[in-house]
Amino acid sequence: MTEIKDIYWTAFTFKSQPNPNTLHVTHKYLGELSGLDADLTLKIIKDYWKEYPLKTFFAKFSVEDYFHSGTLRILKEPATEVSPFKNFFKLRNQLDPFRVDDWAFNPHVTTKLPKVHAYIDSYVFMRNIEIVDRWYAV
């Protein structure tokens, strides 16, 4: 029997679709974490949002692309837009000790929708498909 490992990740969620398992913008994939590292990660995130409260912002995803050898359809931000996600690199960098990124941060959504133009109003810390904690925009 294969043991199921706890995989941790963080994401922004949409006001119109608050369930991160339906639609989200991954902020940081953390992979497997020990219980201690998960607790430390949660503390870092809590401290960050306490110092820099999340404000609702509008995000646009309309440029079609594919990951995983063309099998996973995503929508990226238009290159002509200034990404609102650039404001959150500090938090990503604070989480790097737990897992350094394999690739550069490229905000996107995995969806079959033709476009996603919506407000982001929360941030989640996830363990597999479970929300460990959530921070709402003020």
Tokens for 84, please give them.
Answer: 């609102």
Which pLDDT score, from 0 to 100, does residue 101 have? 83
**Cβ neighbours for 95, distance < 8 A, ≥ 6 positions apart:** 10, 28, 30, 41, 44, 45
Tokens for 55, please give them.
Answer: 């404000």
Residue 94: strand, helix, or coil: helix
Residue 2 has pLDDT above 80, yes or no: no
pLDDT digits (tens, 9 = 90+) for 27-39: 999 999 999 999 9
Which pLDDT score, from 0 to 100, does residue 134 have? 98
Domains recognised in the chain with CATH numbers: 7-136 (3.90.1140.10)
- In angstroms, the CA 68 to CA 78 distance is 21
> Which long-range CB contacts under 8 A does 28-32 form with residues at least 24 apart?
28/91, 28/92, 28/95, 28/99, 28/101, 29/99, 29/101, 30/95, 30/98, 30/99, 31/7, 31/99, 32/5, 32/6, 32/7, 32/8
pLDDT digits (tens, 9 = 90+) for 4-25: 789 999 999 999 999 999 999 9
Taking the whole predicted model, whether its pTM rises above 0.85 is answered as: yes
